């Protein structure tokens, strides 16, 4: 048999998910200290090997530039030393969080003395399918590891080299820290046939979490035999109530829109209570305009913000 020839898609997927399933039982009972040490080691490894990640990302960007791509998508794909540093910082923040495994809530005692309540336990194997942002690889691996869940990650084909590099670094450093092999599993083939096959592996994967656009949601909803936890088509809203702290509201709104406007969770719609709109909206408008954000609003908004453009039905 030619060892250089890739495995058939089904055989390839089964090999990955069976290894992931084997890791699930061990990971579920892993001590908090081991998980936190692994997360810190993963953060250090990302920073130490940032050169490898950036080199892989440069290859992805060059390939992406040859396609009729949108500028926003290229920004999502692009990595820098700063963004890798932010990924590492995110891992360290997750390490600081309390371990959810074993947390109890809603406890009450029956007349016979039996205690009844809810205890948080790992789900098992979580399949995460996402598009062009390589940082999702690190975010997903960190959250799954902390919660005692194995992750099977499948990123977009446009970021295949970046994601492969990141996942390999995370997996290797986690294993050295005591995490079972297969706990961070990355699907490193960009074949279109992989996703439909992956979505049928209900013997091995317990839940699918998609992160992406409408077409990805539709594909997963139509093909998955695994339970799916999905978001809607975006349009992220922020509502500022009448008694909200105005300084906090301003800081949150500007950060939600201007930090990285190309991402799928950037603010797209701002709703302000009418009783505070007259004082709050002009302040918000100045801060958003300073961050090069164009404002489109309803007739009342345009009265309060002269530079705002009238919002159309399409908006």
Comparing CA positions, the residue from 85, 201, 105 lying closest to residue 150 is 201
**Confidence tier at 74 by pLDDT (50, 70, 90):** confident
Question: What pTM does this model have?
Answer: 0.79
Q: How far apart are the first and last CA of the chain?
A: 57
Comparing 208 with 71, the larger pLDDT belongs to: 208
pLDDT of 1 > 70? The answer is no
118-133: average pLDDT: 95
Tell me the torsion sign for CA atoms 147, 32, 186, 16.
Answer: negative
Report the pLDDT value the prediction gives residue 234, as an integer from 0 to 100: 61
Range of the domain at 198: 9-98+122-223
CATH code, domain with 244:
3.40.309.10
Residue 4 lies in a domain: no
- pLDDT recorded at residue 3: 53
User: What is the reported pLDDT for 49?
Assistant: 98
Asked if residue 125 lies in contact with residue 147, where contact means CB atoms within 8 angstroms, the answer is no
The mean pLDDT of 189-195, rounded to a whole number, is: 92
**285 and 218 in one domain?**
no
Instruction: Name the 3-class secondary structure at 130.
Output: strand
Domain boundary among 190, 223, 256: 223
CATH number of the domain where residue 71 is located: 3.40.605.10
Tell me the HSE value of 7 on the side-chain side, using a 13 A CA sphere: 12
Q: For 31-50, give the DSSP string.
A: -HHHHHHHHHHHHHHHHHTH
- One domain for residues 132 and 166: yes
What is the average per-residue pLDDT within 262-287? 87
Task: Please count the structural domains in the chain.
Answer: 2
Tell whether 273 and 139 lie within a shared domain.
no
Same domain, 145 and 192: yes
Residue 143 in domain: yes
Q: 63-72, 261-270, 303-312: lowest mean pLDDT where?
A: 63-72
The CA distance from 233 to 265, in Å, is: 11
Cβ atoms of 7 and 197 within 8 Å: the answer is no
The band of 172, judged by pLDDT with boundaries at 50, 70 and 90, is very high
Q: Are 244 and 223 a contacting pair, CB within 8 Å? A: no
CA 219 to centroid of chain Cα atoms: 19
Helices 274-290 & 246-258, crossing angle to 10 degrees? Answer: 40
Dump pLDDT digits (tens) for 224-242.
999 999 876 567 889 999 8
pLDDT tens digits along 93-120: 999 999 999 999 999 999 999 999 999 9
Distance CA(36)–CA(21), nearest Å, equals: 22
Q: Do 211 and 306 have their domain in common?
A: no
Is-contact 144 162, C-beta < 8 A?
Answer: no
Q: Are residues 132 and 17 in the same domain?
A: yes
pLDDT value at residue 122: 98
């Amino acid at each position: 048999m030619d060892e250089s020839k890739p495995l058939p898609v089904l055989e390839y997927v089964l090999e990955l998910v069976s290894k992931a399933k084997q890791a699930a039982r061990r990971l579920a009972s892993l001590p908090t200290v081991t998980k936190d040490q692994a997360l810190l080691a993963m953060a250090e490894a990302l920073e130490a090997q940032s050169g490898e990640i950036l080199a892989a990302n440069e290859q992805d960007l060059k390939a992406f530039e040859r396609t009729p791509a949108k500028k926003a998508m290229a920004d999502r794909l692009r990595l820098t030393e700063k963004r890798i540093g932010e990924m590492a910082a995110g891992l360290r923040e997750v390490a600081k969080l309390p371990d959810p495994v074993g947390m109890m809530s809603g406890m009450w005692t029956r007349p016979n003395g039996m205690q009844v309540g809810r205890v948080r336990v790992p789900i098992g194997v979580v399949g995460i399918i996402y598009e062009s942002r390589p940082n999702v690889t690190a975010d997903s691996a960190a959250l799954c590891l902390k919660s005692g869940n194995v992750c099977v990650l499948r990123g977009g084909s446009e970021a295949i080299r970046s994601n492969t590099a990141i996942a390999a670094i995370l997996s290797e450093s986690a294993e050295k820290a005591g995490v079972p092999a297969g706990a961070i599993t990355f699907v490193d083939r960009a074949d279109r046939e992989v996703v439909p096959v992956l979505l049928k592996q209900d013997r091995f994967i317990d839940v699918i979490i998609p992160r992406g656009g409408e077409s990805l949601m539709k594909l997963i909803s139509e093909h998955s035999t695994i339970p799916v936890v999905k978001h809607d088509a975006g349009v992220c809203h922020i509502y500022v109530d009448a008694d909200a702290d105005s300084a906090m509201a301003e800081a949150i709104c500007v950060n939600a829109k201007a930090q990285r406007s190309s991402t799928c969770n950037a603010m797209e719609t701002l709703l302000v209570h009418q009783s505070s709109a007259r004082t709050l909206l002009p302040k918000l408008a100045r801060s958003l305009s300073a961050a090069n954000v164009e404002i489109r609003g309803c007739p009342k908004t345009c009265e309060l913000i002269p530079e705002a453009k009238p919002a159309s039905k399409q908006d």
